[in-house]
Amino acid sequence: MMNYESPAVVVDDLHVFRGSHEVLPGISLSVPRGQVVGLLGPSGGGKTTLLRSIVGVQILAGGTVSVLGEPAGSPGLRSRVGYVTQDPSVYSDLTVRQNIAYFAVLVGAPRDAVERTIEAVDLTSDADSRVDRLSGGQRSRVSLGAALVGAPELLVLDEPTVGLDPVLRRDLWALFHRLADDGTTLLVSSHVMDEATRCDRLLLLREGHLLADDTPDGLLARTGAPDAERAFLALIENEVAA
Amino acid sequence: MRARLTLATARRVLLQVRADPRTLGLLIVVPCVLMGLLAWIFNGTHVFDRIGAPLLGVFPFVVMFLVTSVTTLRERSSGTLERLLSTPLCKGDFLAGYALAFGALAVVQALVATGFAIWICGLNVAGPLWLLVLVAVVDAVLGTALGLFVSAFARTEFQAVQFMPAFVLPQFLLCGLLVPRQLLPRPLELVSDVLPLSYAVDAMRTLTTEVDAAGDVGRDVAIVAAFAVAAIALGSLTLRRRTP
């Protein structure tokens, strides 16, 4: 079904400066609907800046970003796009349920969405705990829940699995795929290359340049590398040689 | 439709205040302690009757300025503000939610402090008491509005606290409480004419001396409210959906 629809995100010749440094010097890419797309690459490569541009909170120097058919950041998109920042951005002095319930009102989610969301991020037994009494991994799941509660069509996640134990990481990726099966598009950034195999599609970003836009299998076949990490290194070497 | 978002925001802010009982206690108890101290210092003189009511207007202003500037700074630096502005919540809903929550808190603070000053400390007020409470609440909303505005210029909570002496103390010195405004050197009198706290104190002073002063007080309250609206409008310019 994804091929019959326009892509969820289309970025065309995007330029972004942070200070005097051009973080994104004219990048173009697209994100197909209903897939889990991984945005991978080393820290400082422009991943967060790209995600912020797609959500519409980044000042752009040039180019266009279109999301679900509208310019990024349009008022009509604000309940259709969920954004989870790298640091958990929820209220640490409120309980899990109070946080999720507040964001549910903001995005106009139905009342029962609060409990369903708390269950989806596996925080049912901590629902009445204050967020500042939770572990780092639990806090980032509260932040994820605050974005999930509105059932957004596009979910933009900045390093959601950092600092999580292997079991939680596996569970989260399973949740991402369940959401994608229901038609949600997910754009997930990570600097951990072994998460590449969990994605339907990969975008490799280094120093503001897109090194690859491919499926995990396609990437391995093209580079002849045994895993994503070495495929990434092979691509960098090719670029340096060229 | 917007009222729902404003009310949800006000409710959320009040839940946060409730989650911090020590701050809540300080908000309510400190003005009473200061009033009691003042009454005791000036025991047997008429000074307390002269400055007690104006101070009932100054306390909520100062306290709300501090609380709001720190809270909104926290909202900016924790990333929650960016997140809120990426949802359908508008700047207006956000600001109105804060003004509503802290305004409600100010009503409680003003009621308790006024009651304490009058019934425990024996403060004499000629004008109607409801007007005294109204002026105190408008002063508190002004403090909230200015606090929202200056929080945009602070990077840390430490800086935000420093804005209190920078923004509030000059207004306190010039508001007519220490020296009547018409006795100030002419340049300072002109400066005091454009500072909102001067009108807040004028209103309180009129209330303590005049039995039927609703007209004059109304004018002063309108001026303070206009300052609050202007500060909120300026504050809204500092809330940006898109940042570098």
- Give the phi and the psi of residue A71 in degrees, each rounded to 5: -60, 140
CA quadruple B26, B29, B30, B31: dihedral, nearest 10? 130
Determine the residue type at B73. Answer: L
Counting every residue written for chain A, the total comes to 242
Residue contact A98–B12, C-beta within 8 A: yes
Stated pTM of the model: 0.88
Q: State how far the Cα of A72 lies from the Cα of A228, in Å rounded to an integer.
A: 30
Pick the most confident of A53-57, B27-31, B60-64, B149-153: A53-57
Amino acid at A197: T
Tens digit of each residue's pLDDT (9 = 90 or more) over B2-37: 789 999 999 999 999 999 999 888 888 988 998 999
Give the gap in angstroms from C-alpha B176 to the nearest C-alpha of chain A.
40
Burial of B24 (0-12, 13-18, 19+ CB in 10 A): middle
- Interface residues of chain B, partner chain A, Cβ below 8 Å: 4-5, 8-9, 11-12, 15-16, 19-20, 78-80, 82-89, 241-244
ipTM of the complex: 0.87
CA-nearest residue to A146 within chain B is: B83
Chain segment B39-61, per-residue pLDDT in tens: 999 988 888 888 888 888 888 88
Q: Which residue from A64, A36, A53 is spatially nearest to A196, judged by alpha carbons?
A: A36
Closest-CA residue of chain B to A21? B244
**Calpha distance B153→B201 (Å, rounded):** 27
Q: What is the pLDDT of residue A237?
A: 84
Q: Is-contact B189 B179, C-beta < 8 A? A: no
Nearest 10 degrees: CA dihedral of B117, B123, B125, B131? Answer: 0
AA identity, residue A176: F
Chain A positions touching chain B (beta carbons under 8 Å): 17-19, 55-59, 73, 75, 78-79, 81, 83, 85, 87, 89-94, 98, 102-103, 105-108, 130, 146, 150
Both tokens of B39, joined, read 């009454």
